[in-house]
Amino acid sequence: MTLSYNSPLFFAAFLPLVAVIYQLTPKKFRWAVLLIADYGFFFMWSKFLLLYNVATTFMTYLFARKLSSMKKAPEGMDRKVFKKKKHRILVVSVLLNLAVLVVLKYTNFIGSSVTSLWGGSFTALTIAVPIGISYYTLQCISYLSDVSNKKIEAEQNFFKLALYTSFFPTILEGPITRFNELSADLFAGYSITADNLAVGYERIIWGLFKKMVIADHLAPVVTAIFRDHSDNGGLCLIGAVFCTIQLYMDFAGTIDIAIGAGKIFGITITENFRQPFFAKNAGDFWHRWHITLGTFFRDYIFYPVSLSKPIQNLTKHLTKKGHKLLARYLGPSIALLCVWLANGFWHGPYWTYVFYGIYYFVFMIIEMFAEKPFEAWCERHNLNVNGWGIRTFRFIKLFIIVIFGEMFFRASTFALGWKMFSNIFVSFNWKGCVSTLPYLGMDVWDYVTVSLAFIVVIIVSVLKEKKYPIRQKFEGMPLAARWGILYALIFAVILFGAYGPGYDAVAMMYAGF
């Protein structure tokens, strides 16, 4: 039995049960209730693969304590030698964490890629992968790094660290939390208040609305287009747009459920989305989409690579030689390439994901060089860079970048992605597209429902982007209006949600990464 966040078994049975037991337990031991719930949740998904999580946590715990104990160089030891030794321990601990991830998730990919180099064949191994390994491994790495950099103290209680690495609302799809952001709330044992309960469940309902009314309705159409209709460019374009909306609504909706579930226990989980489609360019987009993954790569790959000795030396060397522009951009570009390769590989063992990473790298490099000349050009032509016209241009440009990126991301192979992309330009059959679309899993009423729900989400996003205090305004509304909105959302999910006969259960998309 698996417990998806959008299953009634999770939000109407598991979550209330954990909340009741948590509340009845003395404050001192409430974190232990959460840990038991974590392991119960994990076990229901992955059975004894839970041991991987326990082992990784234990290894991280031991290394972190060792790193934490190395505060000062012992007498007689050179500071530099001591620092090197500490750094070496950190590197080993990080590599061990990554080794578990690589062996479990990437063995077949590496095997088939390497053997294909000399034309050999590779027999894929059946390797069971525990849930959330891509998420909790990054959390362990950030924890070790922060302990080593003295940003945080190592946790002395193994079980408390285990709670952090297996927290059930975030284990399936993140957000990728930092120990210093989460630990205080995790271990505090706050009492469940009516306020938190209400706010938590409101957020869960909003997440269910996004996932079940929008994303899950689009799922069969997207699947059908990517599987059977790659010849029709019109359908390919629609597939790319739908796939982008589906992915966003699915992921953001699931994150809403995770944040809501945490809120019930008084635990504030970091936000993972901030109206990404209002970004001004691809770089800004990634500051708003899967924020915690972006900040992880920034803090643990971009900065360390940028500030690493070889890059610093290279920059100095180029400056000396008079290549000022190159000196300014080469270091960050190399660091950026590392970030986007890591981003691609993190999503999974497929070349389409690697391409997806490189795709964004290319756009960000272009932006890095083009942004200033573009702003200067706007100024020369008396165009306001923050004006309506330029903002619309930026939105359209970003939307095109994102949908084509998602098209390659979603395609099962690079060849399919390329075929769909090129067919948009060489085989655009609008008539065939219109006649086929109603038979791909959504009827007219489904399109109306999804469109209306999508408009609701857009309105909320616009208000949020304009910093309109939605929450405060909502709380200031008369009781009847507040309840009316909540009932409308709940019944929209019940009546128009894509579940039951006629629908296959749609897995949470980012749980697979």
Task: Answer yes or no whether residue 1 interacts with another protein by CB under 8 A.
Answer: no
Query: What b/e string do you get for 338-364 counting C-beta neighbours within 10 Å, with b at 16 or more?
Result: bbbebbbbbbbbbebbbbbbebbbebb
Q: Considering the complex, what minimum distance in angstroms separates the CB of residue 433 from another protein? A: 19
Task: Answer yes or no whether residue 497 interacts with another protein by CB under 8 A.
Answer: yes
For another protein, the binding residue among 120, 491, 505, 512 (CB under 8 A) is: 491
Q: Which lies closer to another protein via its Cβ, residue 328 or residue 482?
A: 482
DSSP-derived letter for residue 349 is: S
Q: Using the rule CB under 8 A, give the single segment among 136-144, 152-160, 393-401, 436-444 that binds another protein.
A: 436-444
Give Cβ neighbours of residue 288 (< 8 Å, ≥ 6 apart): 273, 274, 275, 276, 278, 279
For another protein, the binding residue among 26, 76, 373, 502 (CB under 8 A) is: 502
Task: Answer yes or no whether residue 478 interacts with another protein by CB under 8 A.
Answer: no
Q: Which lies closer to another protein via its Cβ, residue 117 or residue 444?
A: 444
DSSP-derived letter for residue 509 is: G
Q: Give the Cβ contact number of residue 60 at 10 Å.
A: 29
Q: Which lies closer to another protein via its Cβ, residue 198 or residue 368?
A: 198
> Which CA distances in Å does 253 have to 94, 206, 298, 509?
31, 7, 25, 11
For another protein, the binding residue among 27, 465, 483, 504 (CB under 8 A) is: 483
Q: Considering the complex, what minimum distance in angstroms separates the CB of residue 223 from another protein? A: 16
Nearest to residue 335, comparing CAs of 359, 301, 362?
301
- Helix crossing, 444-465 with 479-496: angle to 10°? 140
Which residues, 271 to 310, sit near another protein by CB under 8 A?
none
For another protein, the binding residue among 446, 457, 489, 511 (CB under 8 A) is: 446
Tell me the DSSP string of 237-286.
HHHHHHHHHHHHHHHHHHHHHHHHHHHHTT--PPP--S-GGG-SSHHHHH
Q: Considering the complex, what minimum distance in angstroms separates the CB of residue 511 from another protein? A: 23
x/- track of binding to another protein for residues 241-270 (CB under 8 A)? ------------------------------
Task: Answer yes or no whether residue 439 interacts with another protein by CB under 8 A.
Answer: yes
Q: Considering the complex, what minimum distance in angstroms separates the CB of residue 500 from another protein? A: 6
- Given a contact cutoff of 8 angstroms between Cβ atoms, the answer to whether 287 and 294 are in contact is yes
- Given a contact cutoff of 8 angstroms between Cβ atoms, the answer to whether 60 and 161 are in contact is yes
Task: Answer yes or no whether residue 474 interacts with another protein by CB under 8 A.
Answer: no
For another protein, the binding residue among 36, 55, 156, 195 (CB under 8 A) is: 195
Task: Answer yes or no whether residue 445 interacts with another protein by CB under 8 A.
Answer: yes
Q: Considering the complex, what minimum distance in angstroms separates the CB of residue 200 from another protein? A: 11
Nearest to residue 393, comparing CAs of 419, 374, 408?
374
Q: Which lies closer to another protein via its Cβ, residue 388 or residue 445?
A: 445
For another protein, the binding residue among 116, 156, 180, 193 (CB under 8 A) is: 193
Q: Considering the complex, what minimum distance in angstroms separates the CB of residue 339 from another protein? A: 44
d(CA 263, CA 198): 9
Q: Considering the complex, what minimum distance in angstroms separates the CB of residue 399 from another protein? A: 30
111 phi and psi angles, rounded to 5 deg: -55, -50
Task: Answer yes or no whether residue 220 interacts with another protein by CB under 8 A.
Answer: no
Q: Which lies closer to another protein via its Cβ, residue 196 or residue 423?
A: 196
For another protein, the binding residue among 1, 117, 426, 444 (CB under 8 A) is: 444
* CA 493-254-104 angle, 5° bins: 140
505 phi and psi angles, rounded to 5 deg: -60, 130
Q: Which lies closer to another protein via its Cβ, residue 117 or residue 495?
A: 495
Q: How many residues bind another protein (CB under 8 A)?
A: 24
State both tokens at 34.
């959460």
Q: Which lies closer to another protein via its Cβ, residue 159 or residue 439?
A: 439
For another protein, the binding residue among 129, 198, 337, 403 (CB under 8 A) is: 198
Task: Answer yes or no whether residue 490 interacts with another protein by CB under 8 A.
Answer: yes
Q: Considering the complex, what minimum distance in angstroms separates the CB of residue 502 from another protein? A: 5
d(CA 133, CA 136): 5
Q: Considering the complex, what minimum distance in angstroms separates the CB of residue 328 from another protein? A: 56
For another protein, the binding residue among 73, 102, 129, 197 (CB under 8 A) is: 197
Q: Which lies closer to another protein via its Cβ, residue 119 or residue 501?
A: 501
Nearest to residue 57, comparing CAs of 131, 130, 140?
140
Task: Answer yes or no whether residue 496 interacts with another protein by CB under 8 A.
Answer: yes
> Which CA distances in Å does 293 have to 14, 162, 391?
28, 21, 26
State both tokens at 418.
């390329």
- Given a contact cutoff of 8 angstroms between Cβ atoms, the answer to whether 174 and 269 are in contact is no
- Given a contact cutoff of 8 angstroms between Cβ atoms, the answer to whether 217 and 446 are in contact is yes
Q: Which residues bind another protein (CB under 8 A)?
A: 193-195, 197-198, 439, 443-446, 479, 483, 486-487, 490-491, 494-497, 500-503
